Amino acid sequence: MSRLQDKVAVITGGNSGIGFASAQAFINAGARVAIFGRDRASLDTSVEALGENAIAIQGDVTSDADLDNLYTTTNHHFGKVDVVFANAGTAEFMSLEDATNDHLDKLFDINVKGLFKTVRQSLGALNDNASIILTSSITNEKGIPRMSAYSASKAAVRSFARSFSAELVSRGIRVNALSPGPVATSIYARAGLSEEQIEGLGEEMTNQIPLKRFGEVNEMADAAVFLASSESSFIVGDELVVDGGMTQL
């Protein structure tokens, strides 16, 4: 039997990057998947590629109403939810000196409040013994210039994995954090870095990674499948770091 056979999964930010790769991996493992994101065109393209075992729902993780619609629609189409992958997030890098209030608000509204709401609004739609996966980052434990606000938002996510687990373990619901290292996605361009800055940062980070390369989205998706499946049944409140050894060696 497939690792996620007949499971129902919700993936926020499921129309690009790690989220889309995870949606593909979940479906390949036997799940039916609802992807959630803000961009209609991207959602339509993604759900067409994913096929008949996927639906796409447009919305914003900062909106309670949009999240309620996500879970209501998923329950209507597929039944109660077995896996929530709270993956939607944003990145923006600024020095401490240049950081604006808008910069702080954007990161914390999406990465912290949006993730909190994603989990909170899911509780009535979830089966007992469900798995909740939160996308954090290795920046939650490293000091990196220009990433102080982003890193703090991801540290909050890591903390949520512990505190959410403490509240939900009586239902058998496991909450864990997935913390990627540098991954080959468009996140750096979306973070406002120039091509020259991206190239410089990429070279610097690659030199710090024992495997001497960036991770691939499929490698993060494989880790997400593990956390979603019964193979991780004795793992709760924990953090799975997938970084090529960057924080370990």
133-181 confidence digits (pLDDT tens)? 999 999 999 888 899 999 999 999 999 999 999 999 999 999 999 999 9
Q: What secondary structure does DSSP assign to 132-201, as a single string?
A: EEEE--GGGGS--TT-HHHHHHHHHHHHHHHHHHHHHGGGT-EEEEEEE-SBSSTHHHHTT--HHHHHHH
CB atoms within 10 A of CB 188: 21
Does residue 249 lie within any of the structural domains? Answer: no
8 Å CB contact between 225 and 26: yes
Note whether 71 and 121 are within 8 A (CB).
Answer: yes
pTM of the model as a whole: 0.94
Q: What percent of the chain has pLDDT over 70?
A: 92
Contacts of 194 (CB under 8 A, 6+ apart): none
Q: Name the percent of the chain lying above pLDDT 90.
A: 87
Q: Which domain holds residue 129?
A: 8-242
**What pLDDT is attached to residue 195?**
67
CATH code, 159: 3.40.50.720
Which one from 36, 71, 78, 150 is the annotated catalytic residue? 150
- The answer to whether position 248 is within a domain reads no
Q: Is 5 exposed, middle or buried (0-12, 13-18, 19+ CB in 10 A)?
A: exposed
Determine the average pLDDT of the residues in 72-90: 98
Residue 3, in any domain of the structure: no
Q: How many domains, in total, are found in the chain?
A: 1
113 has a pLDDT exceeding 60: yes
Give the model's pLDDT for residue 143. Answer: 87
Instruction: Report the distance separating Cα 38 and Cα 60, nearest Å.
Output: 6
Instruction: Specify if 180 maps to a domain.
Output: yes
Asked if the structure places residue 2 within a domain, the reply is no
Respond yes or no: is residue 71 known to be catalytic: no
